[in-house]
């Protein structure tokens, strides 16, 4: 059976799990862990991705991320590829480091965010990497210590998470810690490590109870949320797929988008591809980046090469292009 494609959208919440191939250690020592965190922090900030929770275990890691300007697939490709290359070089090994694809579960934020933060941050205790909550408070390789103010992680959404508990930081930390500690007896929770009807409903008992009441919900293993949320996500994904098929059938590629942009903004094609900061040129390049990334799914790395811009420059152009399109009611194709 072919693998299902990943589901993503700007602002989507993802629980991501990646494991070492054949259970091997992906973090052999602190140097490995620090290397990974340096890469994660840099990519999170550069792509405007929000990181709510994370934990590093010797043979796997967990992340809770909200997509920013860059698709989650691009964020993870940069993170995993860069880390694997440096890890292999440092330890003089070759071959794949990670097991298959990383697991990415799109989550219903209101219902699952706090539970996910707690579950992910308790991983070191479940893995017996640390002994108890007191040791976890200062453990450098879980986002919990940053939320407790013991370790500085300027790329982690610390204030946002604490704000869910109280606007006064000292009270928020106390309440957050109590919330996390309360989850220790729960142990491993399969309902938070994947989607599907069983997990999203809270187990088979809940599913059977709903079915006996003639309540039938849509489910998908890539999504963690109730039936309405699953329907909404799949519907949006289907619309996006149909939109891309239509663009492909009408011959849209990067060059055709460039021609469309030049007609709208009234610039020459040669000007669009040439570097420069003239307002019209910036406007045209921004629209090009926005439609190329959002409508065609072209990678920002490819745009970076074609436009001779940094990845962060392309990311800013995508945001600017979205604003320009909305303000001027520009459309790539009519609905």
Q: In this structure, are 145 and 206 located in the same domain?
A: no
- Tally of structural domains, the chain: 3
Which of 22-31, 147-156, 306-315 is least confident?
Answer: 306-315
Q: In this structure, are 232 and 261 located in the same domain?
A: no
| pLDDT mean over 178-189 | 81
User: Does residue 334 lie in a domain region?
Assistant: no
Strand order in the sheet with 223-224: 50-57, 60-66, 13-19, 103-107, 223-224
* Three-class HEC string of 23-83: HCCCCCCHHHHHHHHHHHHHHHHHHCCEEEEEEEECCEEEEEEECCCCCHHHHHHHHHHHH
User: Does residue 279 lie in a domain region?
Assistant: yes
Q: In this structure, are 285 and 263 located in the same domain?
A: yes
| pLDDT mean over 159-174 | 90
Which of 7-21, 129-143, 146-160, 219-233 is least confident?
Answer: 219-233
Domain range for 134 is 13-187
User: Does residue 1 lie in a domain region?
Assistant: no
Q: In this structure, are 38 and 115 located in the same domain?
A: yes
Distances (CA, A) of 59 to 11, 29, 144, 183, 314: 29, 11, 19, 23, 34
Domain termination site, one of 224, 242, 260: 242
Residue 89 confidence (pLDDT):
94
Q: In this structure, are 66 and 150 located in the same domain?
A: yes
Q: In this structure, are 201 and 277 located in the same domain?
A: no
Residue 133 confidence (pLDDT):
96
Q: In this structure, are 181 and 56 located in the same domain?
A: yes
Q: With a cut of 70, say whether residue 46 has pLDDT above it.
A: yes
Which of 22-26, 38-42, 112-116, 197-201 is least confident?
Answer: 197-201
Residue 267 confidence (pLDDT):
85
- Cα-to-chain-centroid distance, residue 257: 27
Q: Which residue has the higher pLDDT, 168 or 206?
A: 168
Cβ(193)–Cβ(15) below 8 Å: yes
Q: Which residue has the higher pLDDT, 121 or 107?
A: 121
User: Does residue 268 lie in a domain region?
Assistant: yes
User: Does residue 333 lie in a domain region?
Assistant: no
| pLDDT mean over 256-263 | 86
Q: With a cut of 90, say whether residue 178 has pLDDT above it.
A: yes
Q: In this structure, are 60 and 176 located in the same domain?
A: yes
Q: How confident is the model at residue 302 (pLDDT cuts 50, 70, 90)?
A: confident
Rounded to 10 degrees, the C-alpha dihedral 311/315/316/318 comes to: 140
Q: In this structure, are 29 and 147 located in the same domain?
A: yes
DSSP reduced 3-state for 142: strand
| pLDDT mean over 14-18 | 87
Looking at the chain, the whole-number percentage of residues with pLDDT higher than 70 is 73
Q: Which CATH number do you get for residue 76? A: 3.30.70.1290
Q: In this structure, are 212 and 315 located in the same domain?
A: no
Q: With a cut of 60, say whether residue 230 has pLDDT above it.
A: no
User: Does residue 33 lie in a domain region?
Assistant: yes
Q: With a cut of 90, say whether residue 194 has pLDDT above it.
A: no
User: Does residue 2 lie in a domain region?
Assistant: no
Q: In this structure, are 298 and 181 located in the same domain?
A: no
| pLDDT mean over 164-186 | 90
Q: In this structure, are 183 and 214 located in the same domain?
A: no
User: Does residue 258 lie in a domain region?
Assistant: yes
Cβ(73)–Cβ(3) below 8 Å: no
Residue 30 confidence (pLDDT):
96
Distances (CA, A) of 237 to 108, 205, 302, 332: 15, 30, 23, 19
Q: Which CATH number do you get for residue 274? A: 1.10.1750.10
């Amino acid at each position: 059976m072919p693998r299902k494609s990943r589901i993503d959208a700007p602002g989507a919440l993802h629980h991501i799990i990646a494991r070492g191939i054949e259970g091997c250690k992906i973090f052999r020592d602190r140097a490995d862990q620090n290397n990974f965190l340096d890469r994660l922090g840099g990519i999170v900030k550069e792509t405007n991705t929000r990181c709510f929770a994370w934990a590093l275990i010797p043979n796997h890691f967990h992340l809770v991320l909200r997509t920013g300007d860059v698709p989650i697939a691009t964020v993870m490709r940069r993170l995993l590829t860069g880390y694997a290359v440096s890890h292999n070089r440092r330890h003089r090994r070759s071959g794949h480091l990670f097991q298959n694809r990383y697991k990415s579960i799109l989550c219903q934020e209101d219902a699952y965010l706090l539970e996910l933060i707690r579950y992910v941050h308790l991983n070191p205790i479940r893995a017996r990497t640390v002994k108890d909550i007191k040791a976890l408070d200062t453990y450098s390789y879980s986002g919990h210590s940053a939320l407790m103010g013991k370790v500085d992680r300027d790329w982690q959404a610390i204030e946002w998470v604490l704000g869910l508990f109280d606007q006064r930081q000292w009270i928020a930390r106390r309440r957050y810690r109590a919330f996390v500690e309360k989850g220790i007896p729960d142990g491993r929770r399969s309902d938070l490590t994947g989607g599907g009807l069983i997990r999203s409903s809270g187990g088979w008992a809940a599913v059977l109870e709903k079915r006996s009441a003639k309540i039938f919900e849509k489910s998908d293993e890539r999504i963690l949320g109730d039936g309405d949320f699953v329907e909404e996500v799949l519907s949006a994904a289907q619309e996006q797929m149909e939109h891309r098929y239509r663009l492909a059938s009408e011959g849209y590629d990067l060059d055709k988008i460039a021609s469309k942009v030049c007609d709208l903004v009234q610039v020459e094609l040669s000007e669009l591809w040439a570097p420069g900061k003239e307002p019209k040129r910036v406007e045209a390049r921004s629209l090009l980046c926005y439609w190329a990334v959002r409508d065609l799914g072209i990678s920002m790395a490819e745009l970076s090469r074609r436009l001779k811009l940094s990845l962060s420059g392309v990311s800013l152009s995508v945001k600017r292009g979205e604003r320009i399109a909305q303000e001027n009611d520009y459309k790539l194709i009519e609905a």
